[in-house]
Every structure is written in structure tokens, then in C-alpha cells.
Structure 1
Amino acid sequence: MPVEPTPRRRRLGAELRRIREARGWTQDEAARRLGYQSLSTVSKIENGLQALKIQQLPHFFEVYDITDPALREELRDLVRRAGEVDWWQRYEGVIDDPLGDYLSLVESATGLFVFNPLAIHGLLQTPDYARAVTEGSRAWKTIGDIERFVTLRLEHQRAIAERPQPLKIWTVLPEGVLRQEVGGRACMRGQIEHLILLARDSPSVTIQVLPFTAGAHAGMDGPFMLMSFPTGRDLVCIESLRAALHLNDHETVDLYRTTSDLLKSDALSPKASLPLLSAIAKDLS
């Protein structure tokens, strides 16, 4: 029977698809090995349209040769919590599928590398900057929608900050993003001062500035996020206004991992970035 394709069911399906494809199996062959009469069952599971019970997982572990204890536990957790109501579901009308999937992924990620030449990442934003970015995007039709989205963003920051295991965030910020007067000079100065505090006081946040003098750099193809998980896998997320692309094939992830390493090399070191951040904040005074 079809079920709601919640973010966790989609993640579970994506993981099982990744493992199947790594084995070189078609959906038809996977269905045969699992004992299903039709490949449509495998297709529905992989698309989050059919629920799995915890009792079914040992059979998948055996057939798919899933032996990694961390991966097994991650799959068990996704099955157990597949239909669980998440805090962000209170924001009906603000959350869409791509954003819900992203929030679900970050929930279990251990590391997040961010490169965005357009805006500072939401987890590092001040309330004033978050509101200015949201208003400027023109994506929301009413003041109420804007306030709800900003409230959601700030609640997401609190949820991540209160995790038992901190999310390690590493961001490379182009100098142009820091000099763009989002929300006005006072708003931007407050945002940069907030970044300085995070860089100095938060061991889970690493900030590097990519100065104008760096010239051409490894991130000129555009923004991306690289997420790391306890099982050792990485996933690339590329976002646009109303869509998000999640990429987990080995070759693509390696390409973006190399890009993130090159960006770290192109940028000032975390220590050398602090004086430039302070200088930009002073310029905005």
C-alpha cells in the first residue's frame, strides 16, 4: 500500500538504491534476489512510496551484503523513524520537499562544507541578515510567510546547536559576499561580527575568507554543500530557488571533495581570515 514519501523514507530508499547500484544490479534483479514478484516493489521502496518494517531489514542486509554496523544502524533508525513527525512539519506551507529533505539530511550529518558565492549559509546567519535575505529573494508573497521562514531558520540553528554531537561546519566565504550590504551597513556589520565570534569561540565552526586577490578559483562553477555522515559516505547538495539536487555517486562526490580541498587552499587560512573579517566590519562602521 502506498505511504507518504517522508524525507526519511526517501533517504532510506536512496541508500538502498545506492547499494543496489554499487552491486551492479537492476531493479528487476534486486526484486528477484529479494523474492519479490515485481520490480515495482523495489521501485516503490527506493522512491519512499512503500514502507519497510524493521523485521524486513535483516533480509535486506543479507541479500545486499550490508555488513557495516554503522550503516545497518542508520538504516534501522530510518525505518524506525520513517513516519515520525519532525519539528519542521509545524511550518506547513513554508517547507517543501527539497527543504524538508535537506533538514532531514543535516539532522544526521556529522560534517558540512559550504561554498556559496551568493549568501552566507543559513546556519551562520543573524536574525536580521536572515530576514533581509528572505525579503530580498522575493520568494515569499506575504510578510507572514517571511516571518515564518525566518523563524524556521532560527529554530533550525537552535536544533543543530543543541545536538549531542556537534555538526562540524566548514565554510569558504568569498570576500564579495561579505562586502554585499545585505540589509544595510549595520545589518551586514552585525553579521560579520557574528562570524568573527563563531570563528573565535566555536570549535565546531571553521571560517575561511576567499579574498578578491585570489582571482580565479576552484568554486567558479557555483555553490554547493558537501555533507559527511557517520558511515563515512559523503553527499553533495546543490540548491536552487525551488529545487535541490542530491548527488551521491562516488565519482561526483570525489570531484566536489577535491573542489572543496582546492577552495580551502585558495582561501586565507582560518587564522589569517580573522583580520580581514575585522577590517570589513570596520569598513561598514
Structure 2
Amino acid sequence: MRFSGEAESITLLHEKGVVMPVEPTPRRRRLGAELRRIREALGWTQEEAASRLGYQSLSTVSKIENGLQGLRIQQLPHFFEVYGVTDAALREELRDLVRRAGEIDWWQRYEGVVDDPLGDYFSQVENAGALFVFNPLAIYGLLQTPEYARAVTEGSRVWKTPEDIDRFVALRLEHQRAMAERRPPLKLWAVIPEGVLRQEVGGRACMRAQIEHLMHLARTSPSVTIQVLPFSAGAHAGMDGPFMLMSFPAGRDLVCVESLRTSLHLNEPETVELYRTTSDLLKSDALSPKASLPLLATIAKEFS
């Protein structure tokens, strides 16, 4: 994975009228995805959009939408006018993506550990306003204790050396710290299957500490909601596997299907709506947040 530490000024060579390729950073890709969404909602092809924007070739629009060509903040008012973007929150989000397009993110210090898809995930979740997560395999990363995170990383066999394991665990914990300091805080809603809570990841003491950590978050953090999906729920809406549903202050919601080292981002309206329905059904199938606490306490006690 390459990282561009250069200033945004390298993206356009005004004197020669030459547009330079840029690093398709997560923010540039998100900017391009939002502009593509707006264009498609208007029913325009890339060629039609290029003509309306005054570009000679549709390839310019294609490169912008794929994060391969930078935009300057001064260009955005023209895009707003042509695309009819009047929503103030969406305008400010697009401005922020342009301003910060070339910024070095904290996770870029972990070169060799963070691949492009995982970097995209970090960028997305740090900009999200709300996140619903369902994972029948492990407790979600932002809710993990350090001991649980290490046990999951070691157990996955993806990371081969102790040094690689140390770096990935450090990455997880730094992500937690960054999100804990974010203002406004992320509204995190997790539905956790009972089987995940009873799986002895890292041993009994590790699991007891992990469950007690979940109880502490549920009781003390207004931005965290935890529901337990009990065995008695039987077959449920999440049988197809893990996913995350991200909502943003402006722009289209996003579904992320994540594994340990990669993630798939889906933002087609029909797909997002399908996962939104699934999340609602899982909330209905699970115990209420209040009723989940006694079950968490029972399982923690059993690990004593």
C-alpha cells in the first residue's frame, strides 16, 4: 500500500493545464462515490456529466469518481451548481473530504498491516454518525478488551510472527482510542449472539473480563447499545453472516462486510435497505438492552 505525503498542490499543474494522478486515498474514494451517487440520481451518464461540467472527456469524471484525480475546494461550488447540491450538511461533508483528501491518517503508520480495504473501513467508521454491527463469529473490534483482541488475532492464524500480531493488536487498540476521543461520539449498536459470549476465546478469565467490559459499556456509555441474541431465538435474520450498517450525517448509508484483513463496502440503495431490514429484525429477535444485562451477568459468573 502506497501513501502520499505530498500536499494537495501536486494534484493540479495549473501552468501546463495538466492534471496529475493522485493517490486514491479513502477520502478521495468516498468523495468520488458521493459524486457518483449524485450523478446517478440525476440519471446522467459520465459523458453527460462531463459535458455539463465543461470537461472535454468523460474520463475526467471517471477519474474523479474513482479517486484518481483530485479536486480543489474552489471547484466545488461549480459541482454544487451543476449537480444541484443544495443540502448544507452534504455540501460541508464534501468540502471536508476535499480539504482532508491528502491527509496522513493515524493508521498509515501501520504500513504492511493495513491494506487499502481496511484503511477504507477506518476512514468510513470514523466519519459515520451511527453504526449497527452484527458478528456471529467474534465480539466487534471497538468493544474488545486488549486480551480478547490478542486472542482473536492469534487464533485467526492470519498474522504469522509475534511482531505482526503485536502491530495488529496495537492497531486495534489505537482505533479504539481514536474513536473514544471523537466528538460527537459514534452511536454504536451491537447485537451479539449468545454463542459468541460463551466461546472461550483466550480462556475463561479473558472471557469474563470481556463480558464485564461489555456490561460496563452498556451501563455507562450513552452512545453504546448492546443486545444479546439468545440461543432460544433459534433461526434469525442474521444467518447469512456478519455485517455493519453505517449511517452518515450526510450522504448515502453504507454496508460493510469485514473480515480480519479486508472489507467490502456496499452502498446501492436496494442492498442497504435489505441490510437495514435485517438489522431491525435482529434487534427484534434479540433481548432488549435492559434484559440483556442479566444474561451477560450470568454468563460472566459462569466463567468464574
Question: TM-score, normalising length from structure 1?
Answer: 0.98
DSSP 3-state at the match of 2:192 = strand
Moved over 3 A (4+): 240-243
Which of 36, 49, 58 matches 1:30?
Answer: 49
Alpha-carbon distance between aligned partners in 2 of 1:147 and 1:108, rounded to the nearest angstrom: 26
* Structure 2 residue 126 is the aligned partner of structure 1 residue 83: no
Say whether the 8 Å CA contact 2:114–2:261 is kept in structure 1: no
Which of residues 219, 242, 245 is equivalent to 1:200? 219
Cα distance between partner residues in 2 of 1:143 and 1:65: 53
Q: Is 1:229 aligned with 2:267?
A: no
Q: Which deviates more, 16-25 or 67-76?
A: 16-25
Amino acid at match of 2:276: R
The answer for the alignment partner of 2:76 in structure 1 is 57
Tell me which of 127, 136, 145 is aligned to 2:146: 127
Query: What's the CA shift for 1:232?
Result: 6.1
CA shift for structure 1 position 28 = 1.2
Corresponding residue number in structure 1 for 2:199: 180
Give the AA of the match of 2:277. Answer: T
Q: Determine if contact 2:134/2:242 at 8 Å carries over to the other structure.
A: yes
3-state SS of the aligned residue for 2:226? Answer: strand
> What is the Cα deviation at residue 206 of structure 1?
0.3
- What SS does the aligned partner of 2:71 have? coil
* Displacement of 1:240: 3.2
Amino acid at match of 2:127: S
Paired with 1:37 and 1:244, the residues of 2 have a C-alpha distance of 35
Q: Which residue number in structure 2 is paired with residue 8 of structure 1?
A: 27
Q: Which of 147, 159, 183 is residue 178 of structure 2 equivalent to?
A: 159
Q: Secondary structure at the match of 1:226?
A: strand
- Partner residue of 2:115 out of 87, 96, 107: 96
In the alignment, the residues of structure 2 paired with residue 7 and residue 231 of structure 1 have an alpha-carbon distance, to the nearest angstrom, of: 17
- Structure 1 position 26, deviation (Å): 1.4
Greater CA drift, 123-132 or 86-95: 86-95
Provide the rounded CA distance (Å) in 2 between the counterparts of 1:110 and 1:270: 20
The gaps in structure 1 that reach 5 residues or longer are none
- 2:93 is aligned, of 59, 74, 94, to 74
Residue by residue over 1:163-217, the C-alpha shift from the partner in whole angstroms, topping out at 9 and shown as x without a partner, is 1201110000000000011011111111011001111111110000000000011
1:238 counterpart = 2:266: no
User: Which of 93, 117, 124 is the matching residue for 1:105?
Assistant: 124
Determine helix, strand or coil for the equivalent of 2:189: strand
1:243 shift after superposition:
3.3
**2:138 aligns to what SS in structure 1?**
coil
Instruction: Tell me the TM-score normalised to structure 2 length.
Output: 0.92
Q: In structure 2, how many angstroms separate the alpha carbons of the residues matched to 1:251 and 1:177?
A: 29
Give me the identity figure in percent.
85
Question: Aligned ranges for residues 137-148 of structure 1 at < 5 Å?
Answer: 137-148=156-167
CA contact (8 A) 2:130 2:186 kept: yes
Query: Contact between 2:187 and 2:223, CA under 8 Å: does it hold in 1?
Result: yes
CA distance in 1, matches of 2:251, 2:226: 23
How far off is 1:235 after superposition? Answer: 0.9
User: What SS does the corresponding residue of 2:111 show, helix, strand or coil?
Assistant: coil
Q: How far does residue 24 in structure 1 lie from its aligned partner after superposition?
A: 1.4
What is the distance in 2 between the residues matched to 1:213 and 1:81? 48
Residue type of the alignment partner of 2:162: I
Cα drift, residue 92 of structure 1: 0.9
How many residue pairs match? The answer is 285
**Which of 136, 151, 165 in structure 2 is aligned with 1:117?**
136
Cα distance in 2 for residues equivalent to 1:281 and 1:69 = 47
CA distance in 1 between counterparts of 2:262 and 2:222 reads 32
Task: Provide structure 2 residue ranges, at least 5 long, that are not aligned to the other structure.
Answer: 1-19
Larger deviation: 125-134 or 242-251?
242-251
1:22 and 1:245 map into 2 onto residues whose CA distance is: 23
